[in-house]
Structure 1
Amino acid sequence: MEKNQETALTQMRNSIQKLGSSTEMHGDPTLMRFLIARSMDPVKAAKMFVQWQQWRAAFVPSGSISESEVPDELEPRKIYLQGLSKDGYPVMIVKACKHYPSKDQLQFKKFVVHLLDKTIASSFKGREIGNEKLIGILDLQQISYKNIDARGLITGFQFLQAYYPERLARCFILDMPQFFVSVWRMVSRFLEKATVEKIVIVTNEDEKRDFIKEIGEEALPEQYGGRAKLVAIQDFILTPSEN
């Protein structure tokens, strides 16, 4: 680790203590994510970290969101967890044609936490290091106007930005129809520059080849050019060593 990173981490820990919180349960890799998200500013990173701790304690008091808390969101089987990419990132797929705007926003927010936590947990053996990332695939094939949920998309990305900083390695958007372009422009206004830079809208054969290459055929389902089968997130079993 570079000296300036060590200095920033020390300053961040001191700032967190001054804010009345602790880093006892979290190692350098976790703290570095918050520093990177706040351009290596220890004071801003400390504030973000403490806000995350407070949110986590209030919103996920038991440490996780169980399937029984999000039945309506799981029922359509619209989220898939595909194992690890070539670079070791868990691959999560969202089939937008199976999604409809939620009437229960609290359950939807809990669902976002459930799927992000489970996706991240699928990437490590034993203990979490703290710097694990994920790859998201937003499949817009066969969507209709009834599936459009700008609010839901914004919520998902804002949760990633605020509470899962530097967890997103890449997000691929597939088969974006023309009528969705204006929706995406609107959603993009709510995204930080660093998030936008990780999003790839796949529009041609060259980009599709790069997409397949980056993820790898082992994890990618057959319908996307890989060799795997789709696995709904509720059917993906975390082994005891991954919990």
Structure 2
Amino acid sequence: MFRRRNNSNNCQEDDSLQRDAKVNELKAAIGPLSGRSLKYCTDACLMRYLEARNWNVDKSKKMLEETLNWRSTYKPEEIRWHEVASEGETGKVFRASFHDRYGRTVLILRPGLQNTSSQDNQIRHLVYLIENAILNLPDGQEQMAWLIDFTGWSLNTNVPIKTARDSANILQNHYPERLAIAFLYNPPRIFEAFWKIVKYFLDPKTFQKVKFVYPKKKDSVELMKSYFDVENLPTEFGGRATLQYDHEDFSRMMAQDDVKGASVWGFDNKLIHVSKGCMGTEVSPDPVPLALPAS
């Protein structure tokens, strides 16, 4: 909607003013907020919803209200690692120890390591890790990157179509403009049939962010390397780093992040129990009421 011209400071300033005006318009359309909804609806958040709906305030308002309703019932910020840790035992989805060239948090997905059959728990695990990726974004960065490794993938380990559809809907409807890029590395030919169905669940903006990378296709490899330093990129993705997932170490890190997340969302006044278990450190906060004072 807005055009930027690098050789014109005035044009950039005009764009910024127009964006700010749209944010204020959306803010007014939503009306007064409190508790977690107020904490969630930052100016940057409103900007993402506007961007996702091409700066149409009415459509952005509808989208945001649907997200606020979803968050009030699903409560993604309340999910704790010990509740979903069994889903992560194989390292099928985890936050990488490195960032991309733009400082974005990176999630690594390895669908060939699927280890459970509960679709609800699989989605809950993914939502937890999306929230965790956002929690660990550096200042000034709003988006994450996904690297998807198809080693070991088969139709037997593939998630059901319904799970793929529900996951896609949550990502694009409730985390708009959070995904910067998703690289699908060397998917087998049989995946193409599955993709032909899944792609219809994606809106055009999300679809454009999905990139297929094949080791023998130089252009796709160079595109991925423009986002990642090969020294950080695991060998599974054509890089030089060794990919190691230690579930106990990752569990301890997630437990620490649960404490950080509780602080961010204003759970500081609730007693957080920390105990040692077979999975490492676990964090089990007391139930939190829906409406909390904004900090």
- TM-score normalised by the chain length of structure 1: 0.86
Partner residue, 2:289: none
The offset of 1:233, in angstroms, is 8.5
Retained in 2: the 8 A contact 1:137–1:172?
yes
Match of 1:188 among 199, 202, 205: 199
Q: What amino acid does structure 1 have at the position aligned with 2:173?
A: A
Q: Which has the larger radius of gyration?
A: 2
In the alignment, structure 1 segments of 5+ residues that lack a partner are none
Moved over 3 A (4+): 20-24, 231-236, 238-243
SS of the equivalent of 2:151 reads coil
In structure 1, the partner of 2:264 is none
- 1:39 is aligned to 2:54: yes
Deviation digits for residues 80-132 of structure 1, max 9, x if unmatched?
322211111111111111015x532321221121111112222236xxx6x61
Which position in structure 2 is the counterpart of 1:148?
158
Q: Separation in 1 of the partners of 2:137 and 2:246?
A: 14
Work out whether residues 95 and 129 of structure 2, in 8 Å CA contact, stay in contact via their aligned partners in 1: no
C-alpha distance in 2 between matches for 1:208 and 1:151: 31
- Contact 1:188/1:196 (CA < 8 Å) preserved in 2? yes
- Residues 93 and 137 in structure 1, CA contact (< 8 A), matched pair in contact too: yes
| Most deviating of 185-194 and 88-97 | 88-97
Corresponding pairs, count = 235
**Cα distance 1:233–1:48, how it changes in 2: closer, same or farther (>3 A)?**
farther
In structure 2, runs of 5+ residues without a counterpart are 1-14, 262-295
**Structure 2 contact 113–152 (Cα < 8 Å) conserved:** no
Partner of 2:10: none
Q: Contact 1:80–1:233 (CA<8 Å) still a contact in 2?
A: no
What residue number does 1:76 align with? 90
Contact preservation (8 Å) 1:69, 1:107: no
Q: Aligned-pair distance for 1:21?
A: 4.2
Measured on the aligned residues, the alpha-carbon RMSD in Å equals 2.4
Letter in 2 for 1:64: E
Match of 1:215 in 2: 228
Deviation at 1:217, TM superposition (A): 2.5
Q: Secondary structure at the match of 1:172?
A: strand
SS in 1 for 2:190: helix
Instruction: State the TM-score, normalized to the length of structure 2.
Output: 0.72
Distance in 2 between residues matched to 1:176 and 1:95, nearest whole Å: 11
Residue in 1 aligned with 2:210?
A: 199
Per-residue deviation at 1:36? 0.6
CA distance in 1, matches of 2:95, 2:244: 6
